[in-house]
């Protein structure tokens, strides 16, 4: 029996979770919905009297990390250049992949034939390549023809030549070493991968024989009680072997996610450490870290453009990659009542009148 205390809670939880989620104690604010009744619940979180929340989150941090790795390890500037140009990521990737004009690749727009939405396909397609999904299953998921799916994968690999190689190399590293590392050297280990993968490889021919026998029995015009009993036995054995094969596939996909998502978590932690020190020095409050967002609160006297600039700098310049990091920073009288710095009157310490009226009307 482990004696869990306030002092050892976080260290114990870190050993129990198998991914790179930040360890939280108490209410998990991320699980409160941002729409409907969930938004009303979020509105109940308020700073102390005379103070305001400042929320700042990292924009598209995972694809930026991917673009950085592609450039640093493979000299591939294809994805990085999009971020340097400051244009919409998925619109531009769709234009490059499908060879279409921008008008067909903006959000909710269709290709000239009217059969699919290039930007939507692109956004999901990046994940499909990351997960090593096949064209047939991708076509089914996206409700497009197999020809469109095959065209997507072929053109994607041509336009972003090192993306698939990056995914494959990270997985191969996990298979060889039993772990992967974030860009900052933090490891996620897969201690059982080699053992289970070897068992799966050894049992592959047996699994094929089981599938074949099951099909033969199912195809019988009339099944005997013995056939029914045998089908149950076959299904039990198939489930055991298939579950192991599924686990191997899950670990291989998780290896890539651990590098990308884990690096994003590292960056947010370093940003949070810097912002926490600033808060301690200035008497501000560090309130929460929610997904990719840091939330602090400051007194009205300290809510200035300079403070906003300081927070943005901590979020975007604490860690340097070969692509720029960006942040969306908002001012909140209560949680989820968000105003951009451009819409805020720093003299009167309230949203500009026309913005306030638009918000509530």
* Structural domains for the chain: 44-75+162-190+252-361 (3.30.70.370), 77-160 (no CATH), 193-245 (no CATH)
CA separation for the pair 1, 11 (Å, rounded)? 16
| Among candidate residues 173, 185, 141, the one with its CA nearest the CA of residue 256 | 173
Helix, strand or coil, per DSSP, at residue 295:
strand
Backbone phi, psi, residue 259, to 5°? -70, -50
pLDDT in tens, the chain (361 residues): 556 565 665 565 555 555 555 555 566 787 777 888 888 888 888 999 999 999 999 999 999 999 999 999 999 999 999 999 999 999 999 999 999 999 999 999 999 999 999 999 999 999 999 998 999 999 999 999 999 999 999 999 999 999 999 999 999 999 999 999 999 999 999 999 999 999 999 999 999 999 999 999 999 999 999 999 999 999 999 999 999 999 999 999 999 999 999 999 999 999 999 999 999 999 999 999 988 999 999 999 999 999 999 999 999 999 999 999 999 999 999 999 999 999 999 999 999 988 776 666 6
CA separation for the pair 204, 223 (Å, rounded)? 27
Angle subtended at Cα 288 by Cα 286 and Cα 290, rounded to the nearest 5 degrees: 145
Q: In the prediction, which pLDDT does 166 show?
A: 98
Helices 225-282 and 163-177, axial angle in degrees (round to 10): 100
Contact 191, 167 (CB under 8 A): no
Helix, strand or coil, per DSSP, at residue 335:
coil
Q: In the prediction, which pLDDT does 15 show?
A: 54
Count Cβ atoms below 10 Å from residue 40 Cβ, excluding itself: 11
C-alpha atoms less than 13 angstroms from C-alpha of 143 in its C-beta half-sphere = 5
327-332 vs 293-299, strand pairing mode: unpaired
| Residue showing tokens 């004009």 | 101
């Amino acid at each position: 029996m482990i004696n869990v205390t306030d002092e050892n809670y976080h260290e114990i939880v870190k050993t129990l979770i198998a991914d790179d989620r930040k360890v939280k104690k108490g209410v998990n604010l991320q699980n409160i919905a941002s729409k409907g009744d969930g938004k009303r619940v979020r509105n109940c979180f308020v700073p102390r009297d005379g103070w305001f929340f400042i929320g700042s989150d990292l924009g598209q941090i995972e694809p930026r990390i991917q673009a950085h790795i592609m450039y640093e390890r493979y000299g591939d500037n294809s994805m990085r250049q999009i971020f340097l140009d400051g244009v919409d990521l998925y619109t531009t990737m769709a234009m490059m992949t499908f060879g279409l004009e921008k008008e067909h690749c903006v959000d909710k727009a269709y290709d000239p034939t009217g059969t699919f939405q290039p930007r939507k396909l692109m956004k999901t397609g990046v994940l499909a390549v990351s997960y090593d999904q096949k064209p047939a299953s991708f076509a089914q998921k996206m409700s497009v023809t197999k020809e469109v799916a095959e065209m997507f994968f072929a053109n994607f690999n041509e336009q972003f030549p090192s993306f698939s190689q990056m995914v494959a190399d990270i997985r191969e590293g996990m298979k060889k070493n039993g772990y992967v590392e974030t860009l900052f050297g933090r490891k996620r280990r897969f201690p059982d991968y080699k053992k289970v993968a070897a068992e799966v490889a050894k049992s592959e021919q047996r699994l094929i024989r089981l599938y074949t026998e099951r099909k033969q029995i199912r195809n019988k015009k009339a099944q005997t009680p013995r056939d029914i009993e045998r089908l149950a036995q076959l299904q039990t054995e198939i489930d055991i072997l298939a579950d192991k094969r599924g686990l191997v596939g899950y670990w291989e996909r998780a290896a890539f996610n651990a590098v990308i998502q884990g690096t994003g978590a590292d960056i947010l932690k370093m940003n949070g450490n810097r912002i926490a020190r600033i808060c301690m020095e200035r008497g501000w409050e560090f309130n929460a870290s929610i997904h990719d967002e840091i939330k602090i609160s400051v007194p009205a006297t300290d809510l200035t453009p300079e403070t906003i600039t300081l927070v943005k700098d901590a979020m975007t310049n604490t860690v340097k990659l070969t692509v720029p990091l960006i942040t969306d920073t908002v001012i909140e009288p209560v949680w989820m009542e968000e105003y951009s710095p451009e819409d805020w009157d720093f003299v009167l310490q309230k949203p500009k009148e026309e913005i306030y009226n638009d918000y509530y009307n």
